[in-house]
Amino acid sequence: MNVPDHLYFSESHEWVDPALPESATVGISDHAQAELTDVVYLELPEVGRSVSKGEAIAVIESVKAANDIYAPVSGEIVEVNEALAEAPEPVNEDPYGEGWMIKVRLADADEVEGLMNAATYRDTIS
Amino acid sequence: MILSPLHDRHTKLGARMAPFAGWNMPIQYCGIVAEHQAVRESGGIFDISHMGEFEVVGAEVVTWLNGLLTNDLNSLSDGEGHYTLMLNPRGGVIDDLIAYRMGEDRFFLVVNAAKIEEDRDWLESHLVPGIDFADRSKEFGAVAVQGPAVATAWSRMELEHPLPKRNGALECEDGVVVCRTGYTGEDGFELFAPVEAIGSWFDRFVDEGVTPAGLGARDTLRLEKCYPLNGSDLDAEHTPLEAGLGSFVKLDKETDFVGRDALVSQKAEGLKQHLAAITMTGKAPPIRHGYEVCDPDGEVILGKLCSGSLSPSLGRGIGLAYLDAEDCHPGKRVSVRVRERAFPAEIVKKPFI
C-alpha cells in the first residue's frame, strides 16, 4: 500500500496534506480505496461549510455499500473536487493526486500534529 | 460460521469474505463490476456450496410434490427441471427452488441456503408413506458456471458427458449432478459434486479461463434480470402472483397444492400490489434495500425497495418494490429517497436488461 511520507492520516483513513496551511488538502488513503473497491458515487460537501474534526462530511459508495468520510481536521471548506461528482474513478486510481476531495482552511494548524504521520499509519494498516 | 469446501481457494484468490445465511462466503475477488462484466461477456464461476440439495423418491412422488409446489411436475420428462415455489396456506412464499426430475420416481430439489431447515421441516411434516425424503445438503459442494463462453469451455475440457440442454439435468457416475440452469440470465450450468471433489472442479474451470465471481456480482446479475431473492423480494406475506411469478403457478393442475385456495381468491379479487421494477432516470447515488419509493416530489411514500443496486450493465440504479397496483404501470414517474433527498425514477417493464 502506498503511504506517502509527507502526509498525515486519521484513524478513519483520511489523509491531510498540510503543505499550504491556508488550505490543507484532504482525501482518503490508498488502503481505504482498496478496502472500498470500485467507487461508483461520491457526495461532497458544499464550499463554505464549517466542519469539526470527526464530523461526517461526505458519502462514498461502492456497488455494495455506502460509507461516510469524516473531517480529519476542523475548518472551513474552501474548495471541493467537483470532477469526482461526475466521475469518481480517480479515488481508486490516484487517491493522493487526482482523487483529492476537499480543501480546508484550518481552524487550528496544530490539529494536524494530532494526526498520525506516515510511519505510524503504515503500522496501523499492516 | 460454516466454511465452504472451497474456502482455502477463496482465501488464496484474495476474496473478501462475509457472512451469508450462516456461511462465510466470498462477496468479491477483483471487484463486483469486473466480475459482473466477465459473466455477461464470457464466463464466471460462483461458489454456491451453501445452497441446499434434497432428494425425494417414491412411486407417487409427482403427486406428493405437486401438492406442495406451485408448478406442474407432470410437465417434466426425465432429466428436465423447472423453477417452482413452495407456499404457506396463505399463499405466501416459504421458498423458491428448482425441481429436477432425475427419473420416473426421483426428484432433486435445489433450495436456498437460508431456508434449508424450514424447507426440510415443512416437507417432512407433510410426508406420507411411500415417499423417501433426504436432505443431502451436507454431502454436496457446488459451483455455478455462468456466461456465454462456458459451454465451449465445457466442450474443450473433453469430459465424458455433453452438457444437458437448457433446464436439463444430468447425473454422472462419480456422484456429480450437472444442471443447465442458473441465476444470472446467461447460459451456463450448476455443478453439484461430493464435498471432497468440488475443489478440483473449481480449479479446472478456473484453468479454462472462467473468472471467479462472488455473491456481490451474483446479486447484481440476478437483479438486472428481475430474478427474485427470497427473504428480500419474496416472503411469507407476499404471493407469487404479486411477485409477478404467475407463469410458475399452475392453478389448474390436477393436484391441489398448499396455498392454492389463497391464490385463487386473490386472483378473483384482483391483485392489490405488484412487485414493480424501478430505474433511476438521472444522476443519483446507488439505490439500496430499504430506501423509500415516493411520488415524483418525494412527499408521499409509495413503498420500500426490497432489492436495489447500481446496475453495472446500465450504469444506473435499479430496484424492486411492492407498490399498489395503480402505481405500477411502466412509464409512471416516481422518486427514490436517498439520505432525505428525492431522486427521479420511473417504473419500467421487467426485466431491466
Q: Which tens digits make up the pLDDT trace of B192-221?
A: 999 999 999 999 999 999 999 999 999 999
Which of B309, B37, B233 has its CA nearest to residue A66? B309
Q: Is position A58 within any domain?
A: yes
Task: Report how far residue A41's alpha carbon sits from residue A66's, in angstroms, rounded to the nearest whole number.
Answer: 9
- Is the pLDDT score of B60 beyond 80? yes
Name the CATH code of domain B272-348 (choices 1.20.120.80, 1.10.730.10, 1.10.10.10, 2.40.30.110): 2.40.30.110
Q: What one-character-per-residue DSSP string does A70-123 give?
A: E-SS-EEEEEE-THHHH--THHHH-TTTTT--EEEEES-GGGGGGSEEHHHHHH
Give residue-wise pLDDT tens across range B292-341: 999 999 999 999 999 999 999 999 999 999 999 999 999 999 999 999 99
Residue of B nearest to A38 (CA): B31
Are A17 and A9 contacting, i.e. CB atoms less than 8 angstroms apart? no
Beta bridge partners of A116: A9
Q: Is B56 on the interface with A (CB under 8 A)?
A: no
Measured CA to CA in angstroms, residue B265 lies from B48, B90, B159, B239, B307 at distances of: 37, 10, 50, 12, 28
Buried b (16+ CB within 10 A) or exposed e, B39-59: bbebbbbbbbbbbbbbbbebe
- Ranges of each domain in chain B: 2-30+138-224, 272-348
Distance, in Å, from the CA atom of B295 to the CA atom of B48, rounded to the nearest integer, reads 39
| ipTM given for this complex | 0.87
B254 in Cβ contact with B74 (< 8 Å):
yes
pLDDT for the residue numbered B90: 98
CB atoms inside a 10 Å sphere around CB B271: 15
CA dist list (Å): B137 to A1, A103, B3, B141, B188: 41, 55, 14, 8, 22
Is the residue at A3 inside a domain? no
Q: Is the pLDDT of residue A21 over 70?
A: no
User: How far is C-alpha B5 from the chain's CA centre?
Assistant: 21
Give the 3-state secondary structure of residue A49: coil
In a domain, A2, yes or no: no
Contacts of A41 in chain B (CB under 8 A): 285-286, 310
Q: Would you call the peptide bond into A90 cis, given omega within 30 degrees of 0 as the criterion?
A: no
Report CA Rg, chain A: 13
The parent domain of residue A50 ranges over 8-125
* Partner A contacted by B214 (CB < 8 A): no
**Closest-CA residue of chain A to B311:** A63
For residue A18, the domain's CATH number is 2.40.50.100
- Of A62, A94, A89, nearest to B35 by C-alpha is A62
Chain B touched by A67 (CB under 8 Å): no
Give the number of other Cβ atoms within 10 Å of residue B245's Cβ: 21
Q: Which of A39, A27, A38 is nearest to A2 (CA)?
A: A27
CATH superfamily assigned to domain B2-30+138-224: Probable tRNA modification gtpase trme; domain 1 (3.30.1360.120)
Of A37, A61, A64, the CB nearest to B285: A61
Can you tell me whether residue B37 is helix, strand or coil? helix
Residue pLDDT, tens place only, A40-91:
999 999 999 999 999 999 999 999 899 999 999 999 999 999 999 999 999 9
Higher pLDDT, B260 or B283: B260
Radius of gyration for the alpha carbons in chain B, expressed in angstroms and rounded: 20
Structurally, chain A folds into a number of domains equal to 1
Chain B residue at shortest CA distance from A68: B339
Express as a percent the part of chain B with pLDDT over 90. Answer: 99
